[in-house]
């Protein structure tokens, strides 16, 4: 992931976020992110980080998840896919 701030600085990350809950999310990502995570494990980690920042339980209706898999185009997960992952949290 690449982040460009208003000054034009470009920073590369393997896992990052922006916004008011950034410190809480980054704490989760720094402790639990692993190279070569499965797609499902990465999505679960993202949802766990979101919970840390919002203290709210995510649902298929409250989040949108987009993924880019190696060799494939960007796609959004369906509500059914999201519901299955949320159920495993």
pLDDT tens profile 41-60: 999 999 999 999 988 888 88
What is the Cα 73 distance to its own chain's centre?
Answer: 18
Eight-state DSSP code of residue 36: T
Task: Report the chain's mean pLDDT, rounded to a whole number.
Answer: 90
Confidence class of residue 6 from pLDDT cuts 50, 70 and 90? confident
23 contacts 49 by C-beta, under 8 angstroms: no
Helix (H, G, I), strand (E, B) or coil at 66: strand
Residue-level pLDDT at 69: 87
The pTM (predicted TM-score) of the whole model is: 0.81
Residue-level pLDDT at 72: 94
Nearest to 80, CA basis, from 62, 60, 66? 60
Residue 20 clears pLDDT 90, i.e. is over it: no
Residue-level pLDDT at 32: 95
């Amino acid at each position: 992931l690449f982040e460009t701030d208003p000054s034009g600085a470009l920073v590369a990350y393997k896992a990052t976020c922006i916004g008011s809950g950034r410190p809480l999310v980054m704490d989760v990502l720094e402790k639990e992110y692993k190279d070569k995570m499965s797609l499902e494990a990465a999505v679960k980690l993202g949802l766990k980080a979101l919970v840390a920042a919002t203290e709210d339980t995510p649902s298929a209706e409250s989040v949108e998840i987009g993924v880019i898999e190696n060799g494939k185009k960007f796609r959004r997960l369906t509500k059914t896919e999201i519901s299955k992952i949320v159920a495993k949290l």
